[in-house]
Structure 1
Amino acid sequence: MQYYCVSEGGEPRLIARDGDEAYDLTAARERVTSFDDLAHVADIATETVDEVAARLVDEAEPVDIPDETNAAVPVAVDEVWAAGVTYEISEKAREAESGMPEMYLDVYDADRPELFFKATRDRVVGPGEAVGVREDSEWNVPEPELGIVLHHGDITGYTIGNDVSSRSIEGANPLYLPQAKVYDRSCSLGPCVVSAESVDDPHDLAMRMTIERDGEQRYEGETATSEMVRSCEELVSFLTRHNTVPETAVLLTGTSLVPEEGFTLEPGDRIDIDIEGIGRLSNTVTRV
């Protein structure tokens, strides 16, 4: 199933979509207003989120399938983390931007992946909202990524993430990575969460990104998560080693869609990211 968070009269509601049908789970249980609420119930009941949702559907009201561009952040995430250099093209792109290119090749081939903190809840925006580019960065790019939704460190679902990055800042010195990655509106998530049991193989999903400016398409790229050199389970394992993640967290798994060198996001651009089986995450761009 797919799970969307929508706002009705300013109040959040959780909508479950099963094929061509959608149901208001909050109408069945008023305290279930986001995917993490559902995951919490499933954890207590030692069931999957889809099993819990299936029971609520029997009491829920049928509703229209949510508009992906108007949905809210689908999960009340406490922390967002991200993995880097998990695709060959990403490794090459970061070598090109950096004065220390060898370090990225070393990480790409190493046993230990690169993991870094990306965002808190108040730095995350949802579908239809504007992601941010830093005023003090001259080269800014989107990074479309498969996001792993974690509940107490266990994989419960998948979403789409945009890890917006200030490449000129990171390229000046790798020690500037936190400033290149963590700032206001630096991350978007959505449009929904797909339960883990609904995804046959997260390592075999088609991915596409387009960037539009002034009505013209400025970038288009396609790839697949099969190009990722690490598994989702491996990345989660390293994230949770000696590191207590909060109840609800998202781990972005890296990107293989990188706009050509010299392209930079501008305010007003529109970014569309599609991942097979999840949907489309759309955001505009603003300067922060």
Structure 2
Amino acid sequence: MSAFLTNEEMTGTWLGRVWRPEFEGPSVVTLRDGEVFDITAKAAPTVRDICELPSPSAYVQTAKGNSIGTLETLSAAPSSTDAAHFLAPCDLQAIKACGVTFARSMVERVIEERASGDPQAAEAIRARVGAVIGDSLRNLRAGSPEAEKVKQALISEGLWSQYLEVGIGPDAEVFSKAQSLSAVGHNAQIGLHPISTWNNPEPEVVLAVSSNGQIVGATLGNDVNLRDVEGRSALLLSKAKDNNASAAIGPMIRLFDDSFSLDDLRKTDIALRVDGPDGFTLHGQSTMREISRDPLDLVRQTIGRHHQYPDGLMLYLGTLFAPTEDRDVPGEGFTHKIGDVVTISAKGLGTLQNTVQLSTECPEWTFGASHLMRNLAQRDLL
């Protein structure tokens, strides 16, 4: 594909990471006039350090650096240690995720649980749930009196689920999606655990949050979902969510500045396209306009006096998208095939593209925090 940002988007303040084979490690980068500039410096050698500054966007806009190539070239580079290529734009931050943040997608979670991972059983349950609640979830705010009424209506129909509590109750679901530095970036393979036979992409906005709880920017993410594994038991959430290459984040963090703010993010529409090796194409979308919990509320429920993140965090905000379109067998809905190309895009945040593979076949994650620290020290950046 061409560059992952449009000409209009390039005018924003962007922060990311590029693998530099000559250094055998990553560099912190930004964009200037279509060129990728390495701005790694002792003053702020990591993305985490920049996000901790009083004004990350002001620092990036004036940071000294040198061009390492055009965005057009680097954004098309394969994810290989032998070539310069974009990485996930975060480094030392914890990678957290919020689930069931859209009341309408909550219904699919209830269905997954009730179907116990059986896609054929899900179709009948889907019809029954729709008959009970209709379109009442579209503008529902979690924790509100109206949300409680919907919850009670579902319970009275024998459709109680733990997903109801986190979907429309007062407390959000927040879980650990991946380890620091384990997320993959643009053009990388994204992994499915081989035990799963019913799964799908989850196109989401991902916040960059500093250690004091300030949202400093945002990017896109794919929170790969193993519907059958999580559907069998919520206690399998970690097994369903945290696997090799199962978290994609990118292409870069757009830092908040005069051109892009949290209010812009609240109006963001996210588009999804899956192009399969079998010729199958799936289109989907999610919109932040329908989120049941405001991003500020989700951040407050994640970080505060009750839980600290000294290196900040990246926070997936959940998705409205839940595919029901049949791919192979009628009534079984959508599931991935190896080789699917997943493209997630949003105006203002660019495009994140990944290719589906088994987690056991994706490149192993071998570059952790200790490796990063040693690498920066060898480069006299610490």
Q: Please give the secondary structure, in 1, of the residue aligned with 2:164.
A: helix
Among 41, 54, 64, the alignment partner of 2:70 is 64
Match of 1:24 in 2: 37
Which residue does 1:249 correspond to in 2? 313
Match of 1:164 in 2: 224
Percent of residue pairs bearing the same amino acid type: 26
Cα distance, 1:23–1:141 mapped onto 2, change above 3 Å: closer
Q: CA deviation at 1:212?
A: 0.8
CA distance in 2, matches of 1:14, 1:237: 28
Q: Root-mean-square deviation (CA), in Å?
A: 2.3
SS of the equivalent of 1:98 reads helix
Indicate whether 1:208 and 2:246 are aligned: no
Give the superposition deviation at 1:15.
2.7
Query: Where in structure 2 are the equivalents of 1:1-288 lying within 5 Å?
Result: 1-8=13-20, 9=22, 10-17=24-31, 20-22=33-35, 24-26=37-39, 29=41, 32-40=44-52, 43=53, 46=54, 48-56=55-63, 60-61=66-67, 64-65=70-71, 67-70=74-77, 71-99=86-114, 102-152=161-211, 153-197=213-257, 198-200=259-261, 201=263, 202-214=265-277, 216-241=279-304, 242-260=306-324, 262-288=333-359
The one-letter code sitting in structure 2 at the alignment partner of 1:199 is: F
Q: Is the 8 A contact 1:83 1:113 kept in 2?
A: yes
Alpha-carbon distance, 1:101 to partner = 5.3
Matched residue count? 280
In the alignment, structure 2 segments of 5+ residues that lack a partner are: 1-12, 78-85, 115-158, 325-331, 360-382
User: Deviation at 1:217?
Assistant: 4.3
> Using a 3 Å threshold, how does the CA distance of structure 1 residues 61 and 282 change in structure 2: closer, same or farther?
closer
Question: Cα–Cα, structure 1 residues 210 and 240, in superposed 2: closer, same or farther, change >3 Å?
Answer: same
Mean alpha-carbon deviation: is it higher for 6-15 or for 204-213? 6-15
Using the TM superposition, name which of 142-151 and 194-203 deviates more: 194-203
Aligned to 2:149: none
SS in structure 2 at match of 1:121: coil
2:248 corresponds to which letter in structure 1? S
**TM-fit CA distance, 1:106:** 2.9
| Contact kept? 1:157, 1:193, Cα under 8 Å | yes
Q: Which protein is bigger by CA-based radius of gyration?
A: 2
Q: 1:117 to 1:211 in 2, by over 3 A?
A: same
User: Conserved in 2, the CA contact under 8 Å of 1:80 and 1:117?
Assistant: yes
Please, what TM-score do these two structures have when normalized by structure 1? 0.88
Deviating runs (4+, > 4 A) in structure 1?
A: 30-34, 59-63
Tell me, in whole angstroms, the C-alpha distance in 2 between the residues paired with 1:120 and 1:171: 23
Alignment gaps of 5+ in structure 1:
none
For each residue in 1:27-58, what CA deviation from the matched residue of structure 2 results, as whole angstroms up to 9, or x when unmatched?
7x366554323224xx2xx3x1121122225x
Look up the SS of the partner of 1:126 in the other structure.
coil
- Cα-to-partner distance string for 1:150-204 (whole Å, 9 max, x where unaligned): 1213211101111112110111122222211122211011110000234232110
Task: After TM superposition, give the deviation of residue 61 of structure 1 in Å.
Answer: 4.6
Decide whether the 8 Å contact of 1:126 with 1:189 is kept in 2. Answer: yes
CA distance in structure 1 between the partners assigned to 2:16 and 2:183 by the alignment: 16
Question: Could you tell me how far 1:147 is from its partner in structure 2?
Answer: 0.3
Distance 1:123 1:56 in 2: 27
| Contact 1:69/1:191 (<8 A) preserved | no
Query: How does the TM-score come out when normalised to structure 2?
Result: 0.68
Give the structure with the higher percent strand: 1
Q: How many angstroms apart in 2 are the aligned matches of 1:206 and 1:251?
A: 18
Offset of residue 87 of structure 1: 1.2
